[in-house]
Amino acid sequence: MRVVVDYDLCESNALCMAAAPEVFEVRDDDFLYVLQDEPSEDLRDKVEEAARRCPKQAITIEG
């Protein structure tokens, strides 16, 4: 699976970080950093939860 963030949409609400801290981190500069572009399958539930909880629908999952 590949995680794609549309940074034009992302507003750093940081809900993705709460859902999947292994993959998403919003730092104190208020920017989102994707820690793993291709997380392992065992993180799929968490990454899908992050995509669902994103208020901007900025996260898509490919594959």
Partner 1 sequence: MGLDNIVIVGASLAGLRAAEELRTLGHAGRITLVGDEPHRPYDRPPLSKQVLAGMKPPESTALMVAGGSIDDLDLDWRLGESATGLDLGARSVLLAGGEQLPYDGLVIATGASPKRLPGTDHLDGVHTLRTLDDCAAIRSALVASPGRVAVVGAGFIGAEVAATCRGLGIAVSMIEALPVPLERGLGPAMGAVVADLHRDHGVDVRLGVGVVLIEGGDRVEQIRLTDGTVLDVDLVVIGIGVGPNTDWLEGSGLTIDNGVLCDATCAAAPGVVAAGDVARWPNHRFGEVMRVEHWDNAIAMGTHAARTLVAGPAAAEPYEPVPWFWSDQYDRKIQLAGRAGPDDTVAVVSGSTDDRRFVAFYGRAGRLVGVLGMSQPAKVMRWRSLVEQATTWDAALAAAAQEAEA
Q: What are φ and ψ of residue 25, in 5° steps? A: -140, 120
CA dist 55 and 26 (Å) reads 15
Q: Minimum Å distance from CB 31 to partner 1? A: 9
Residues that bind partner 1 (CB under 8 A): 11-15, 17-18, 26-28, 30, 48-49, 51-53, 55, 57, 61
Q: How far is the CB of 17 from partner 1 (least distance, A)?
A: 5
Q: Report the residue number, 34 or 61, with the smaller CB distance to partner 1.
A: 61
Q: Can you tell me the distance from the alpha carbon of 63 to that of 9, in angstroms, rounded to the nearest whole number?
A: 21
